[in-house]
Amino acid sequence: MIRYILRRVVTMALMLLLISAIVFIIIKLPPGDILTNQIEELRAQGEQVSDAKAQMLMQQYGLDQPGWKQYAIWMGLWPGTDGFNGVLEGNWGWSFEYQRPVSEVLGGALLMTVIVNLATIVFIHLVSIPVAIYTARNRYTATSHAVTFLSYLGIATPNFLLALALLFYFNRWFGISVGGMMDPKYTDAGWSLGKLGSVASHLVVPVVVIGLASTAGMIRRMRANLLDELNKQYTLTAKAKGMPPTRALLKYPFRMALNPFVADIGNLLPSIVSGSVLVSLVLSLPTVGPILLQALKVQDQYLAGFILLFVAALTVAGMLVSDLMLAAIDPRIRLGQGR
Amino acid sequence: MAASFLRLLAGAALAASLCAPAHAQETVIDQPAASAAPQPAPAGTATPATYIEPPMLAEQVSSGKLPAIADRLPRTPLVVDPTENGRTVGRYGGNIRTLATKAGDLKYMTVNGYTRLVGYDEHLKLRPDILQALDNEDDRVFTFTLREGHRWSDGEPFTTDDFRYWWEEVATNADLSPAGPPELMVVDGERPKVEVLDATHVRYSWSKPNPKFLPTLALPSPAFIYSPAHYLKQFHGKFSDLKKLKEMASKQKLASWAGLHNKMDDAYKNANPDMPVLNPWMLATKPPARRFVFQRNPYYHRVDSQGHQLPYIDMVTFDIASGSLFAVKANAGEADLLAGGLNMGDVPVLREGEHMHGYKTLLWPIARGSAVALYPDLTINDPVWRTVLRDVRFRRALSLSLDRKTLNNSLWFGIGTLSNNTVLHESAMFSEDLQTRWANFDPEQANRLLDEMGLKQTEIGGFRSLPDGRELEIIVEVPGDSAEIMDALQIITEFWADIGVKLVLKPQDTTNMRERAYAGQTIMIAGAGLDNAVPTPIMMPAELAPVRQDSMSWPKWGQYFETSGRSGEAPDTPDAKQLMDLYKTWRSTGDEAVKRQAWQDLLRLNVDNQYVIGTVNGTLQPVVIGPHLRNVPEKAVYSWEPTAFFGVYRMDQFYFDDQPASEAAAR
Chosen from B6, B101, B175, B322 to mutate, greatest number of chain A CBs within 10 A: B322
| Residues B638, B645 contacting (CB under 8 angstroms) | yes
Q: Does the pLDDT value for residue A129 go beyond 50?
A: yes
Q: Does the pLDDT value for residue A54 go beyond 80?
A: no
> Is the CB of A59 less than 8 angstroms away from the CB of B640?
no
| Cα A282 to Cα A285: distance, rounded to the nearest angstrom | 8
Q: How far is CA B21 from CA A54, A330, B347, in A?
A: 44, 71, 12
Nearest by CB to A164, which of B2, B254, B509? Answer: B2
Cα Dmax for chain B: 89
| Cα A226 to Cα A230: distance, rounded to the nearest angstrom | 6
> What ipTM was predicted for this assembly?
0.76
CA A96 to chain centre: 24
Run of H or E including B204: strand B201-205
Nearest by CB to A167, which of B9, B328, B641? Answer: B328
DSSP notation for B251-310: HTT-SSHHHHHHHH--SSS---TTS---SSEEE-SPSS-SEEEEEE-TT--EEETTSBBS
> Is the CB of B334 less than 8 angstroms away from the CB of A32?
no
| Cα B369 to Cα B533: distance, rounded to the nearest angstrom | 5
| Residues B413, B490 contacting (CB under 8 angstroms) | no
| Cα B584 to Cα B562: distance, rounded to the nearest angstrom | 14
Q: How far is A178 from chain B (nearest CA, A)?
A: 6
> Is the CB of A99 less than 8 angstroms away from the CB of B178?
no
Q: What are the chain B neighbours of A81 within 8 Å (beta carbons)? A: 250, 253, 255
Q: Does the pLDDT value for residue A26 go beyond 70?
A: yes
Q: What is the pLDDT of residue B33?
A: 38
Q: What is the pLDDT of residue A60?
A: 66
Strands (E), B480-581: 502-508, 524-527
Q: Does the pLDDT value for residue A281 go beyond 90?
A: no
Q: Does the pLDDT value for residue A277 go beyond 70?
A: yes
Q: What are the chain B neighbours of A164 within 8 Å (beta carbons)? A: 1-2, 5-6, 324, 328
Listed by number, the residues of chain B in 95-114 with a beta carbon closer than 8 Å to a beta carbon of chain A are 97, 102-103
Q: Does the pLDDT value for residue B578 go beyond 90?
A: yes
User: B662 pLDDT band (50/70/90 cuts)?
Assistant: low
Q: Does the pLDDT value for residue B458 go beyond 70?
A: yes
Among the residue ranges A106-120, B429-443, B632-646, the one predicted with the least confidence is A106-120
Q: Which residue has the higher pLDDT, A9 or A175?
A: A9
Nearest by CB to A53, which of B179, B293, B332? Answer: B179
Calculate mean pLDDT across residues A101-111.
Answer: 84
Among the residue ranges A114-118, B58-62, B271-275, the one predicted with the least confidence is A114-118
Q: What are the chain B neighbours of A294 within 8 Å (beta carbons)? A: 102
Q: What is the pLDDT of residue A33?
A: 76
**Mind listing the pLDDT tens digit for each residue in B309-363?**
999 999 999 998 888 889 989 999 999 999 988 988 889 999 999 998 999 999 9
Q: How far is CA B667 from CA B298, B359, B660, B662, in A?
A: 34, 18, 11, 9
Q: What is the pLDDT of residue A287?
A: 83
Q: How far is CA A148 from CA A90, A144, A254, B79, B553, in A?
A: 48, 6, 19, 72, 60
Peptide bond into B288 cis (omega under 30): yes
| Residues B150, B562 contacting (CB under 8 angstroms) | no
> Is the CB of B514 less than 8 angstroms away from the CB of A177?
no
Amino acid (one-letter) located at B91: R
User: B1 pLDDT band (50/70/90 cuts)?
Assistant: very low
Q: Does the pLDDT value for residue B559 go beyond 90?
A: no
Q: What is the mean pLDDT of chain A?
A: 81
Q: What are the chain B neighbours of A55 within 8 Å (beta carbons)? A: 178
Calculate mean pLDDT across residues A31-35.
Answer: 74
Q: What is the pLDDT of residue B287?
A: 82
| Cα A148 to Cα A131: distance, rounded to the nearest angstrom | 10
Q: How far is B468 from chain A (nearest CA, A)?
A: 34
Q: What are the chain A neighbours of B284 within 8 Å (beta carbons)? A: none
**Mind listing the pLDDT tens digit for each residue in A231-246?**
888 888 988 988 888 8
Give every strand in the sheet of B281-283, ordered side by side. Answer: B95-100, B315-320, B291-296, B281-283
Q: What is the dihedral of CA A104, A110, A115, A120, to 10 degrees?
A: 160
Helices (H) and strands (E) in chain B, counts: 23, 24
Q: What is the pLDDT of residue A286?
A: 81
Confidence (pTM): 0.83
Chosen from A56, A185, A279, A283 to mutate, greatest number of chain B CBs within 10 A: A56
Q: Does the pLDDT value for residue A32 go beyond 80?
A: no
Q: What is the pLDDT of residue A49?
A: 56
Run of H or E including B216: helix B213-217
Q: How far is A137 from chain B (nearest CA, A)?
A: 39
The number of beta carbons lying within 10 Å of the beta carbon of residue B647 is: 24
Q: Does the pLDDT value for residue B225 go beyond 90?
A: yes
User: A51 pLDDT band (50/70/90 cuts)?
Assistant: low
Q: What is the mean pLDDT of chain B?
A: 88
Q: What is the pLDDT of residue A177?
A: 80
Peptide bond into B642 cis (omega under 30): yes
Q: According to the 3-state scheme, what is the secondary structure of A132-166?
A: HHHHHHCCCCHHHHHHHHHHHHHHHCCHHHHHHHH
| Residues A261, A255 contacting (CB under 8 angstroms) | no
> Is the CB of B332 less than 8 angstroms away from the CB of A171?
yes
Listed by number, the residues of chain B in 173-202 with a beta carbon closer than 8 Å to a beta carbon of chain A are 178-180, 182-183
Q: What are the chain B neighbours of A180 within 8 Å (beta carbons)? A: 290, 319, 321
Of B338, B292, B311, B363, nearest to B656 by C-alpha is B311
Calculate mean pLDDT across residues B525-544.
Answer: 92
Amino acid (one-letter) located at B653: Q
Residues belonging to chain B? 667
| Cα A46 to Cα B535: distance, rounded to the nearest angstrom | 15
Q: What is the pLDDT of residue B176?
A: 85
Q: What are the chain A neighbours of B512 within 8 Å (beta carbons)? A: 31-32
Q: What is the pLDDT of residue A261?
A: 75
Q: Does the pLDDT value for residue B26 go beyond 60?
A: no
Q: What is the pLDDT of residue B23?
A: 38
Q: Does the pLDDT value for residue B582 go beyond 80?
A: yes
Alpha-helix runs per DSSP H in B426-509: 432-436, 443-453, 483-498
Residue of B nearest to A290 (CA): B322
Q: What is the pLDDT of residue A191?
A: 77
Quote the DSSP letter at residue B165: I
Q: How far is A270 from chain B (nearest CA, A)?
A: 23
**Mind listing the pLDDT tens digit for each residue in B353-369?**
999 899 999 999 999 99
B355 touches chain A (CB under 8 A): no
Of B641, A32, B625, A33, nearest to B633 by C-alpha is B625
Q: Does the pLDDT value for residue B8 go beyond 50?
A: no
User: B663 pLDDT band (50/70/90 cuts)?
Assistant: low
Strands (E), A240-305: none
| Residues A314, A270 contacting (CB under 8 angstroms) | yes
**Mind listing the pLDDT tens digit for each residue in B172-185?**
998 888 777 888 89
Calculate mean pLDDT across residues B388-392.
Answer: 95
Q: What is the pLDDT of residue B667?
A: 46
Contacts of A272 (CB under 8 A, 6+ apart): A113, A114, A117, A118, A121, A314
| Cα B76 to Cα B301: distance, rounded to the nearest angstrom | 8
Chosen from A55, A60, A82 to mutate, greatest number of chain B CBs within 10 A: A60
**Mind listing the pLDDT tens digit for each residue in B405-421?**
999 999 888 999 999 99
Q: What is the pLDDT of residue B475?
A: 95
Residue of A nearest to B8 (CA): A165
Calculate mean pLDDT across residues A243-259.
Answer: 83
Q: Does the pLDDT value for residue A336 go beyond 70?
A: no
Q: What is the pLDDT of residue B13?
A: 39
Bridge partners, residue B99, by sequence: B319
User: A44 pLDDT band (50/70/90 cuts)?
Assistant: low
> Is the CB of B512 less than 8 angstroms away from the CB of A31?
yes
Q: Each residue of B197-219: b (16+ CB within 10 Å) or e?
A: eeebebbbebeebbbbbbbbbbb
Of A196, A206, A115, nearest to A159 by C-alpha is A206
| Cα B220 to Cα A49: distance, rounded to the nearest angstrom | 14
B83 touches chain A (CB under 8 A): no
| Residues B202, B164 contacting (CB under 8 angstroms) | yes
